[in-house]
Amino acid sequence: MSETAEQPSAAPIDASPALVIEAGRSEKNYWSDLWRYRELMGFLAWRDIKVRYKQAALGVAWALFQPLIQTALLTFVFGKLAKMPDGGLPYFLLVLSGNLAWQLFAGAFNGASGSLVGNSHLISKVYFPRMVVPLSAVAVSLVDFGVTFALAVPIIAAFGLWPGWQLILLPVFVGLTLLIAIGAGLWITALTVRFRDFRFITPFLVQIGLFVTPVGFRTDNLPNWRDLLALNPLSAAVDGMRWCLLGGRTEIYWPGMVTAVAVTLALVVSGVWYFRKTERQFADII
Amino acid sequence: MGLPAIEVSDLSKRYVIEHESRHDTLRDTLHHTARKLWRRFRWGTGFQREEFWALRDINFAVQPGEVLGIIGRNGAGKSTLLKILSRITEPTTGKITLRGRVASLLEVGTGFHPDLTGRENIYLNGAILGMRRAEIRRKFDEIVAFAEVEKFLDTPVKRYSSGMYVRLAFAVAAHLESEILIVDEVLAVGDAQFQQKCLSKIQDVASGNGRTVLLVSHNLATIRQLCGTSAYLREGRLKAILPTTEGLAAYLEDNQAGLGSFHPIHGDGVSLLDLQLRDIRHGKPTQTAIFGADYELRFTLGQGHPGLRITPWIRICDSSGVLVSSICGPEEGLDFQPAERTTTFVVSLPHIGLMPGRYNLSVQVYSLAPRPHLDAANALSIEIVPSNIGQAIRAYRAAHGLVRVCGNVHIEAASSAT
């Protein structure tokens, strides 16, 4: 063995830092590794989008139908049947703006939740920081959001409500929504690897979420319920996006916003913690 | 001499297997599920747990530029070792030091998506294997040329022939820039010509660039061609690390161990004195048969009272006890023979058609009486290992059933072409 005389590569090998694999050793360079794999994140998102619309005759139109029909239904149920107060705004727009935020969350959360099990063939065959997978699923939902957003703005304008300067703050609330989805998604996707039960729980959670989040109604007319709703961080995200899209014609409930940010941070920190804790066993139990 | 490229010390890996009992009624199932759920959430596990050490106390080092083959039977821990070295799963104990960038190829075409085109898959697969976009772009032409798929770059890979698919997949992986390459079984695919191309690529990688290669293969010829040294794993332990010729010899010898010492099985007046499967190429007994190759089964019966008219039956069952086939004396035209003191029977098994897997052979001896004189259940256990038929690019596996019933498969020459 030692006679492999010339060793042209001896220098680079000795120069590059050694990688040590040990039981229970959490990697020091996890986050820089994650950053190094950011292109993979992009590629996985790109794959999911590309594959979704291949062989679908209507293509991207599907990204629009579903939210539009849901918006129409919610408008009918909450606006016409339940006659919730509209505060002088077209009810359809209240729901549309709320639903835009909701769809972003639901897409990101659903995508992230199923992402690890959906990519189990990768998990069991290649190494990369596992967090790439749920994050790429979240990125996919952001693209969908871009499409629905591009459609929603002209509709709102057609009703004569021009968005104002508030629109600049939209990325803040988009960010908040995504963080909630990432926090919850990391929990669920890591749990699903071990307990497939969560595959059944996720759609159920999303279904409930639609009703405990002010998607089909506005909260500024429900003072009694506001504080309870504020425990759900999505309430603030939805309210915020509605405020941005409808040019500040609705109100933001600031105490609720503070609660939401705190809850979101807790969710993200704990989600990352649980994910990292269980990540090392994914390949063994997936 | 620099530091070793790979250093493994006291490496062990434990898996915990959870057993679940079967339930037949809905009520049972519900009851069981409720209990299981409760237990799972409390202790994070199901019912019975059993520990299984896939690897135990492995120590070795590989020098830069060395090509190390890893040999051993199914379940010896080869794949687990590669998975740990590739950082897919983590060891239970022990420590590994890797000096250099690691590229691992545990499967050809990991992450290939059938709906994406060849071009798209090169980028996707490259990224999955850890390449940067710029790196893939730089090597793109080289990859395409190696895979010989220029004309089909914009065709979805689901329309590729399996040969093209494999070529493309290997090409991407082969162009990874790394100092350490870990390869598992991937050479078992592709046509003979392409396999040769892959082999020389690996050889280039090792000798030309001084990269370190770790290779697992069931194909002993590949190991012999590529690897200077071999590590022989058995039941999770490293038995030996030897120059390849010696390593292979130890492995083959070990596989035959325990043969030739058949313990006679005695019945009612008739005994089974010997039973062996022989490879007709060299006439030696074996318990491991290569799918599609020629073998013969030899067994010797002994009798207490000569003159009893007997006939043998052999039952071949799979590992779960399903009767796969029988070889019956009378049906084979072998009449009830007035046997000698010892009689040797030879059953030829040309192109053995049992699918890869483990089988148990039982021998029964009947006379004209309805009850067998001898019933030697599971007297011999044999394992059929996969092998490609002719130039086929894939080999049959255990999942394909129990027997291959067909002969040659071909396309009928079209009467009017195009």
Please write down the HEC assignment for all residues of chain B: CCCCCEEEEEEEEEEEEEECCCCCCHHHHHHHHHHHHHHHHHHCCCCEEEEEEEEEEEEEEECCCCEEEEECCCCCCHHHHHHHHCCCCCCCEEEEEEECCEEEECCCCCCCCCCCEHHHHHHHHHHHCCCCHHHHHHHHHHHHHHHCCHHHCCCEHHHCCHHHHHHHHHHHHHCCCCCEEEEECHHHCCCHHHHHHHHHHHHHHHHHHCCEEEEECCCHHHHHHHCCEEEEEECCEEEEEEEHHHHHHHHHHHHHCCCCCCCCEECCCEEEEEEEEEECCCCEEECEEECCCCEEEEEEEEECCCCCEEEEEEEEEECCCCEEEEEECHHHCCCCEECCCEEEEEEEECCCCECCEEEEEEEEEECCCCCCCEEEEEEEEEEEECCECCCCCCECCHHHCCECCCCCCCCCCCCCCC
**Surface of B (121-140) touching A: CB under 8 A:** 123-124, 127-130, 132-133
Distance between start and end Cα atoms, chain B: 63
- Predicted local confidence at residue A14, as pLDDT: 41
The answer to whether A252 touches A261, Cβ cutoff 8 Å, is no
Mean pLDDT computed over A86-108 = 90
pLDDT in tens, B226-238: 788 888 888 889 8
pLDDT above 60 for B317? yes
**Contact across the interface for B89 and A284, Cβ inside 8 Å:** yes
Cα B313 to Cα B374: distance, rounded to the nearest angstrom: 10
Report the percent of chain A where pLDDT is more than 90: 40
* Closest CA of chain A from B246, distance in Å: 15
pLDDT computed for residue A217 by the predictor = 85
The neighbouring-strand residues paired with B17 are: B50
From residue A73, give the alpha-carbon distance in Å to each of A78, A80, A149, A187, A242.
Answer: 9, 10, 19, 31, 18
Test B65 with A37 for CB contact under 8 angstroms.
no
Task: Compute the distance between CA of residue A153 and CA of residue B83 in angstroms, rounded to an integer.
Answer: 50
Decide if B404 contacts B355 (C-beta within 8 A).
Answer: yes
Cβ–Cβ gap B64/A40 under 8 Å: no
- Predicted pLDDT at A274: 94
**Amino acid identity for residue A96 in this structure:** L
Partners of residue A21 in chain B, C-beta under 8 Å: 84-85, 87, 90-91, 95-98
CA angle A137, A142, A143 (to 5 degrees): 100
Q: What pLDDT was estimated at residue A177?
A: 96
Question: What pLDDT is attached to residue A191?
Answer: 92
Return the CATH number of the domain spanning residue range B6-18+41-254: 3.40.50.300
Average pLDDT of chain B to the nearest whole number: 81
List the single range of A79-88, B238-247, B259-268 with lowest mean pLDDT: B259-268
Strands B6-19 and B48-62: antiparallel
pLDDT of residue A206: 92
Q: What is the pLDDT of residues B77-124, one digit of tens each?
A: 888 899 999 888 889 999 999 888 888 888 777 888 888 999 999 999
CATH superfamily, with its number, for domain B265-400: abc- transporter (atp binding component) like domain (2.70.50.60)
Query: What is the Cα–Cα distance from A40 to A128, expressed in whole angstroms?
Result: 9
Cα A71 to Cα A65, A68, A76, A97, distances in angstroms: 10, 5, 9, 9
Residue B328 CB-density burial (10 A; 0-12 exposed, 13-18 middle, 19+ buried): middle
Quickly tell me which residue has 């590059």 as its tokens.
A16
Asked if B216 and B185 touch (Cβ cutoff 8 Å), the reply is yes
Beta-sheet pairing, B102-105 with B265-266: unpaired
Q: Is A6 a residue whose pLDDT tops 50?
A: no
Q: What is the mean pLDDT of residues B389-402?
A: 78
Measure CB to CB from residue B128 to each of A13, A54, A126 and give the nearest one.
A126
Measured between CA atoms, how close is A34 to chain B, in angstroms? 11
Residue type, position B384, single letter: I
d(Cα B252, Cα B244) in Å, to the nearest integer?
12
Nearest by CB to A9, which of B64, B85, B123? B64
Query: For chain B, what are the domain ranges?
Result: 6-18+41-254, 265-400
Distances (CA, A) of A265 to A170, A268, A272, B374: 19, 5, 11, 75
Task: Give the integer Cα–Cα distance in Å for A272 and A196.
Answer: 20
CB contact under 8 A, A20 and B91: no
Same fold, B6-18+41-254 and B265-400: no
Tell me which of A199-208, A243-252, B6-15 is least confident. Answer: A243-252
Q: How confident is the model at residue A13 (pLDDT cuts 50, 70, 90)?
A: very low
Tell me the two tokens of residue A32: 């820089």
Tell me which of A132-141, A160-169, A237-246 is least confident.
A160-169
pLDDT for the residue numbered B325:
92
In A110-169, the residues whose Cβ lies within 8 Å of chain B are: 121-128
**Interface check A10 vs B, CB under 8 A:** yes
A-chain CB neighbours of B156 within 8 Å are 54
Closest listed residue to residue B272, CA positions, set B379, B368, B369:
B379
B241-244: which pairs have CB atoms within 8 A and are 24 or more residues apart?
A: B241/B60, B244/B69
Strand order in the sheet with A18-22: A18-22, B93-99, B6-19, B48-62
Whether A7 sits inside 8 A of B115 (CB atoms) is: no
The tokens describing A251, both together, are 């109100």
Q: How many CB pairs under 8 A join A and B?
A: 141
Question: Would the CB atoms of B123 and A7 count as touching at under 8 Å?
Answer: no
Using the Cβ of B210 and the Cβ atoms of chain A, whether some distance falls under 8 Å is answered with yes
Given this model, what pLDDT does residue B55 score? Answer: 92
pLDDT over 90 at B52, yes or no: no
A chain contacts of residue B83, beta-carbon cutoff 8 Å: 283
Predicted confidence at residue A8, as pLDDT, reads 40
Q: How close does chain B come to A129, measured CA to CA in Å?
A: 10
**How much is the pLDDT for A95?**
92
pLDDT given at position B381: 84
Region A120-125 average pLDDT: 89
Instruction: Answer whether B211's CB lies under 8 Å from B180's CB.
Output: yes
Separation in Å, CA of A285 to nearest CA in chain B: 10
ipTM of the complex: 0.82
Mean pLDDT, rounded, for B133-151:
91
CB-based contacts of B313, cutoff 8 Å, min separation 6: B326, B327, B328, B329, B363, B364, B365, B366, B372
Which letter, b or e, does each residue of A82-121 get, where b requires 16 or more Cβ atoms within 10 Å of its Cβ? eebebeebbbbbbbbbbbbbbbbbbbbbbbbbbbbbbbee
pLDDT band for position B24 (cuts 50, 70, 90): low
Q: Are A119 and A78 in contact (CB under 8 A)?
A: no
Record: contact B128-A40, CB cut-off 8 A:
yes
Question: How confident is the model at residue B189, as a pLDDT?
Answer: 59
